[in-house]
Amino acid sequence: MGFFNNSGIYKTPDELRKMVAPGLATHAGLVAARELIIAGNMTGQIDAAAEAAIIAAGGASNFKLVPGYRHTICASVNDEVVHGIPGKRVLKPGDIVKIDCGAILDGWNGDSAITVVIPDPTQPELVAERETLSMITEGALWAGIAELTRAKHLNEIGARIEGYIEDEGDKINHRYGILTDYVGHGIGRDMHEDPSVFNYRVKQKGPEIKPGLCLAIEPMVVVGSPDTHVLADGWTVSTNDGSSSCQWEHTVVVHSDGIWVTTAPDGGAAGLARFGVTPVPIP
């Protein structure tokens, strides 16, 4: 989601601990959503399930706090990259579905997104293309999170994400597009705070990476051109060339002893293992 609010970039240890519960509530919403991403279901059903799970976890939808938005998730399908509005759209075999979800609990926020490709044995090439896109985008997310343990300044994260996507694309002789108009963000009392978290190389160094930094890292990658447009609904962002798109996102905090992914029950251990990083619970 968009609409940034300025706030302090670095949180106190107590504030970092308060980020865990809304992260887990966000995760619960995505678990419920994932179970319903099957052919024949409507995106509105997924939205209702995600909201029920967040409420059961003690939270509430923070997407509904964005002016003019009335849903718990964004559901973007195929060429739709982000901000897709859930409703009566029926999912089909072969669809690549992006679900972005957030929760607020005790005044603190979580934000996370997943991508799921619905199986379709009649379109093996399309499904393979979309599964590869999702795998590379998710890998880029974890590469960027892992870089938080090594980098000195924030914009090194974007360089790592872009480098990962380039390297993986080179392996299959394909150049993926990375959206530049939509980026990650800081998070805390507001769902969207400073600083911006780029998914690509920029000249500026960005803020220092140090304890108290809370980020929502969310690479958005497309098979073709990264050029996009907003649909008539005023929200949904789609690729101009109709190519498939992908989004993965996690909320992560930097603390005195390391990093912790608040939107993953294991703190990100499974995703970070391949990069030689072990997350540490917030002290």
Q: Is residue 249 part of a domain?
A: yes
Q: Band the pLDDT of 105: cuts 50, 70, 90.
A: very high
For 164, the token pair is 């990962």
Helix (H) or strand (E) holding 105: strand 96-105
Q: Is the dihedral of CA 183, 184, 186, 190 positive or negative?
A: positive
**Rounded Cα–Cα distance for residues 29 and 73 (Å):** 9
How many CB atoms are closer than 10 A to CB 249?
26
Flag whether 5 is in a domain.
Answer: no
Q: What confidence tens digit (pLDDT) does each residue in 199-217 have?
A: 999 999 999 999 999 999 9
At 259-278, the pLDDT tens digits run 999 999 999 999 999 999 99
- Is the residue at 242 inside a domain? yes
Number of structural domains, the chain? 1
Asked if the structure places residue 283 within a domain, the reply is no
Q: What is the mean pLDDT of residues 157-182?
A: 97
pTM exceeding the 0.85 threshold for the entire prediction? yes
Share of the chain above pLDDT 70, in %: 97
- Domain contains 258: yes
Mean pLDDT over the full length of the chain: 96
Residue 161 is assigned to a structural domain of this protein = yes
Q: In the prediction, which pLDDT does 182 show?
A: 96
In a domain, 281, yes or no: no
CATH number of the domain at 162, please.
3.90.230.10
The per-residue pLDDT for 89 is 97
Residue 167 resides in a domain = yes
Domain that holds residue 159: 13-275
3-state helix, strand, coil in the chain (%, to 5): 30, 25, 45
